[in-house]
């Protein structure tokens, strides 16, 4: 197994096949026994762990506290918020038995936890003094999907779900947007993935939300990927669950709530934004391994030098060494397909000449670096590597922005040069249904509400109310 790397299909030949080839070869995941489930292997989980570490700290700066709500939701509880249950009903995995005994009430495996949080808070929130409440949990959720793809769409996936309750609508709305900003900063500055952010149309907003804000990235193939969402509920959930508090004027009021999440889908975004025909490419800040040291052979001097390098680097960079008896070529290929930013090669000839060879995962240029200059050179090479990765991602992003004024123009663009297409749009659910039926696409996010008088919807020709991005999407 470990001694063989399979060939990766070229990106431009078959992007979907390329994607699954990379996922497999980079040892990120394996399919689970239950259809649509995933086993996150060490390389895949390490990426998620890096993301968790970064985001968890950011959430905490906003006063968010981690909690754990149970996995199972009684049917009666789920049915309290009507839109919400309608949105999820067909995808719910249902526990009906324990051992060989039937349960008296069906229990759903959580597809998300709004109803559990709301039900719990009824008894916790009495006064404005008890607010705001800002919870988050890192868990898996289950939504049965017909067609699944690793990381992008799976029946079970890992995510974080934030749930907050506030005493004023403005505070709740601000939190919704603060979280969106944290997501955007993380995705753009750490994952080096450019995104559009904005509001979802009524057609696309979350079941039960008043407003949904989204972060949309564009993949190498021009398809959009929703990479994170933040929902403002107003007091919808509080009304459905009767969550009232006494405000500072001694009046009873319903609380205002939000929820927000990103998932292992971000791993899919990472692969499809940065990967190339040789495999995965990981930005240095998020890379579980930033540097791999590989030895040309296992002679005593070579291994000794490798370990010396490891010791000088490992407290500064996430560094590993491969001194196994695998061939040098195999070790190189493995570090490449796994997307490690920098590779340091140590061989007997290098030792004699007093240097090592460092190459980066994008350019693959080999740089000879004297032993005593390795630590300082690494910083320079990683900075250069991230700069190039960012440049490439933004170039792709810019090149895939289009606009259209009619449905025919729109359709031609998404067929010939897929990407984000800005259009004037009426915003009606029925019109978006019609677009979906005709093109299998829906809106990604609203650009602005600044339409001119007499500017017409690209599809139905009624007055346009907004400018929206449409795209093919994962």
Exposed / middle / buried, residue 193 (Cβ in 10 Å: 0-12, 13-18, 19+)? buried
Q: How far apart are CA 463 and CA 452, in angstroms?
A: 9
Q: Are strands 342-346 and 291-295 parallel, antiparallel or unpaired?
A: parallel
Q: Is 118 in the site for its own copies (CB under 8 A)?
A: no
CA 340 to chain centre: 20
Query: Which CB, 45 or 407, lies closer to its own copies?
Result: 45
Residues 6+ apart with CB under 8 A from 379: none
Of the residues 57, 325, 437, 453, which one makes contact with its own copies according to CB under 8 A:
325
Decide: 32 and 145 in contact? Cβ < 8 Å: no
Query: Which CB, 307 or 403, lies closer to its own copies?
Result: 307
Query: Which CB, 66 or 298, lies closer to its own copies?
Result: 66
Q: Is 326 in the site for its own copies (CB under 8 A)?
A: yes
Shortest distance, CB of residue 130 to its own copies, whole angstroms? 5
Q: Is 32 in the site for its own copies (CB under 8 A)?
A: yes
Q: Which stretch binds its own copies (CB under 8 A): 61-69, 213-221, 339-347, 411-419?
A: 61-69
Decide: 220 and 272 in contact? Cβ < 8 Å: yes
Q: Which stretch binds its own copies (CB under 8 A): 17-25, 67-75, 290-298, 382-390?
A: 67-75
E strand or H helix that includes residue 231: strand 224-234
Query: Which CB, 160 or 212, lies closer to its own copies?
Result: 160
Q: Is 89 in the site for its own copies (CB under 8 A)?
A: yes
Of the residues 17, 86, 127, 353, which one makes contact with its own copies according to CB under 8 A:
127
> Beta-carbon neighbour count of residue 361 at 10 Å?
27
Shortest distance, CB of residue 244 to its own copies, whole angstroms? 12
Q: Is 49 in the site for its own copies (CB under 8 A)?
A: yes
- Residues near its own copies (CB under 8 A), total: 63
Shortest distance, CB of residue 134 to its own copies, whole angstroms? 9
Shortest distance, CB of residue 3 to its own copies, whole angstroms? 7
Q: Is 86 in the site for its own copies (CB under 8 A)?
A: no
Q: Is 109 in the site for its own copies (CB under 8 A)?
A: yes
Q: Is 74 in the site for its own copies (CB under 8 A)?
A: yes
Q: How far apart are CA 104 and CA 221, in angstroms?
A: 49
Of the residues 12, 16, 94, 185, which one makes contact with its own copies according to CB under 8 A:
94
Of the residues 10, 12, 17, 66, which one makes contact with its own copies according to CB under 8 A:
66
Residues 6+ apart with CB under 8 A from 467: 422, 423, 424, 425, 446, 447, 448, 449, 450, 451
Phi, psi of 301 (to 5 degrees): -65, -40
Query: Which CB, 163 or 447, lies closer to its own copies?
Result: 163
Q: Is 120 in the site for its own copies (CB under 8 A)?
A: yes
User: Which contacts (CB < 8 Å, 24+ apart) does range 450-458 have?
Assistant: 451/424, 455/424, 456/424, 457/424, 457/425, 457/426, 457/431, 458/404, 458/405, 458/406, 458/407, 458/409, 458/410, 458/423, 458/424, 458/425
Closest CA to 324 of 316, 335, 313, 314: 335
Shortest distance, CB of residue 68 to its own copies, whole angstroms? 4
Q: Is 242 in the site for its own copies (CB under 8 A)?
A: no
Of the residues 28, 47, 85, 92, which one makes contact with its own copies according to CB under 8 A:
92
Query: Which CB, 92 or 209, lies closer to its own copies?
Result: 92
Shortest distance, CB of residue 103 to its own copies, whole angstroms? 9
Of the residues 10, 12, 16, 68, which one makes contact with its own copies according to CB under 8 A:
68
- Describe the crossing of helices 169-185 and 42-61 by its angle, rounded to 10 degrees: 140
Tell me which residues in 128-167 interact with its own copies (CB under 8 A).
129-130, 135, 139-140, 142, 144, 156, 158
Phi, psi of 115 (to 5 degrees): -70, -35
Of the residues 17, 42, 277, 415, which one makes contact with its own copies according to CB under 8 A:
42
Q: How far apart are CA 293 and CA 46, in angstroms?
A: 19
Shortest distance, CB of residue 472 to its own copies, whole angstroms? 27
Query: Which CB, 130 or 308, lies closer to its own copies?
Result: 130
Closest CA to 306 of 288, 315, 317, 319: 319
Q: Is 3 in the site for its own copies (CB under 8 A)?
A: yes
DSSP string of 368-392, one letter each residue: EEEGGGHHHHHHHHHHHHHHHHHHH
Q: Is 207 in the site for its own copies (CB under 8 A)?
A: no
E strand or H helix that includes residue 82: helix 82-88
Of the residues 6, 13, 97, 349, which one makes contact with its own copies according to CB under 8 A:
97
Would you tell me which residues interact with its own copies (CB under 8 A)? 1-3, 30, 32-34, 37-42, 45-46, 48-49, 65-74, 77, 89-100, 106-107, 109, 116, 119-120, 123-127, 129-130, 135, 139-140, 142, 144, 156, 158, 324-326
């Amino acid at each position: 197994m470990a001694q063989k790397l399979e060939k990766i299909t070229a990106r431009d030949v078959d992007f979907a096949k390329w994607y699954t080839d990379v996922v497999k070869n980079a040892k990120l995941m394996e399919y689970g026994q239950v259809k649509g489930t995933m086993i996150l292997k060490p390389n895949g989980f390490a990426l998620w762990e890096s993301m968790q570490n970064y985001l968890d700290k950011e959430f905490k700066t906003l006063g968010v506290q981690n909690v754990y709500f149970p996995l199972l939701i009684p049917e009666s509880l789920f049915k309290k918020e009507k839109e919400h249950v309608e949105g999820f009903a067909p995808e719910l995995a249902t526990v009906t038995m324990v051992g060989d005994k039937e349960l008296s009430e069906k229990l759903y495996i959580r597809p998300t936890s709004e109803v559990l949080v709301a039900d719990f808070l009824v008894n916790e929130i009495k006064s404005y003094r008890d607010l705001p409440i800002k919870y988050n949990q890192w868990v898996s959720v289950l939504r049965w999907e017909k067609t699944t793809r690793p990381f992008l769409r799976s029946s079970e996936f890992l995510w974080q779900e934030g749930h907050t309750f506030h005493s004023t609508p403005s505070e709740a709305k601000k939190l919704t947007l603060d979280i969106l900003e944290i997501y955007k900063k993380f995705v753009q500055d750490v994952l080096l993935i450019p995104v559009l952010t904005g509001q979802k149309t009524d057609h696309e907003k979350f079941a039960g939300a008043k407003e949904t804000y989204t972060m949309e990235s564009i993949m190498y193939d021009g398809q959009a990927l929703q990479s994170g969402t933040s929902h403002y509920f107003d007091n919808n959930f509080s009304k459905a669950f009767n969550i009232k508090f006494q405000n500072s004027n001694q009046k009873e009021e319903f609380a205002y709530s939000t929820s927000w999440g990103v998932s292992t889908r971000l791993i899919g975004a990472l692969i499809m934004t940065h990967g190339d025909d040789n495999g995965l490419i990981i930005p240095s800040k998020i890379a579980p391994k930033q540097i791999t040291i590989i030895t040309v052979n296992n002679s005593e001097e070579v291994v000794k030098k490798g370990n010396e390098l490891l010791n000088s680097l490992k407290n500064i960079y996430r560094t590993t060494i491969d001194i196994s008896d695998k061939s040098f070529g195999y070790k190189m290929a493995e570090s490449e397909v796994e997307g490690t930013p920098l590779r340091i090669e140590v061989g007997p000839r290098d030792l004699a000449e007093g240097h090592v060879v460092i190459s980066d995962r994008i350019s693959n240029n080999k740089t000879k670096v004297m032993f005593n200059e390795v630590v300082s050179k690494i910083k320079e090479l990683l900075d250069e590597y991230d700069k190039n990765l960012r440049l490439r991602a933004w170039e792709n992003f810019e090149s895939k922005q289009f606009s259209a004024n009619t449905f025919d123009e729109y359709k031609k663009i998404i067929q010939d040069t897929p990407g984000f297409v800005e259009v004037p749009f009426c915003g009606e659910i029925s019109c978006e249904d019609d677009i979906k039926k005709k093109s299998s696409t829906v809106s990604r996010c609203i650009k602005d509400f600044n339409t001119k008088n007499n500017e017409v919807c690209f599809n139905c020709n009624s007055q346009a109310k907004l400018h929206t991005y449409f795209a093919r999407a994962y």
